Amino acid sequence: MPQIPDNKDACELLDADHIAVKHLFVEYARLATAAPDDSAADRTALALKICAELTVHAQIEEEIFYPALREALPDAGDLLEEAEAEHQEAKDLIAQIQALGQADAEMDALVARLNGAIEHHVKEERDELFPKAKAAPEVDLVALGEQLRQRQAELAGQAATT
């Protein structure tokens, strides 16, 4: 993950993740188109980085962000259930990419599908979930941002040592 300034609130922090991973998807697609035969090692590294970053992102959303919203926003239940179902779809694609382990046409197709799934996830958070969270006085987005940031650092540290 890129360095996140400590003052980002929960929505800003999560959206910074969305933007960072989008850059990785764009770079992957560029390499897959421009140099499919010569960029396999770089694409493999990018794909594994995308998977690692999205895994942490989904985990901090599920552990911290979604439960806080579920408690504060009873009418967001359906939206949160849908978000969790979509996380599961992304996790299945991530598992398939990790199992392949090497960039090839099959991985290119899986990464493209994952990109589409994440674009959808990002759109729903930006258009629906974040505005609801921002409008709810009982949701402390600054405190949640701090919790997300700490857990993200912890998980990134674990990934780096395993």
Q: Is 60 or 110 the residue whose CB approaches Fe ion more closely?
A: 60
Count of residues that interact with Fe ion, criterion CB under 5 A: 2
CB of 124 to Fe ion, least distance (A): 9
Q: Is 14 or 31 the residue whose CB approaches Fe ion more closely?
A: 14
Distance CA 102, CA 98 (A): 8
Residues with Cβ within 8 Å of 84's Cβ and at least 6 positions away in sequence, in order, are 62, 66
Whether residue 108 contacts residue 69, with contact meaning beta carbons closer than 8 Å, is answered with no
Whether residue 25 contacts residue 105, with contact meaning beta carbons closer than 8 Å, is answered with no
Choices 12-20, 25-33, 139-147, 153-161; region in contact with Fe ion by CB under 5 A: 12-20
CB of 74 to Fe ion, least distance (A): 21
For residue 58, the tally of other CB atoms under 10 A from its CB is 22
Q: Is 97 or 129 the residue whose CB approaches Fe ion more closely?
A: 129
CB of 48 to Fe ion, least distance (A): 19
CB of 121 to Fe ion, least distance (A): 6
Q: Is 59 or 98 the residue whose CB approaches Fe ion more closely?
A: 59
Whether residue 94 contacts residue 53, with contact meaning beta carbons closer than 8 Å, is answered with no
Whether residue 1 contacts residue 156, with contact meaning beta carbons closer than 8 Å, is answered with yes
| Contacts (CB under 5 A) with Fe ion, residues 81-140 | 125
Interface residues with Fe ion (CB under 5 A)?
Answer: 14, 125
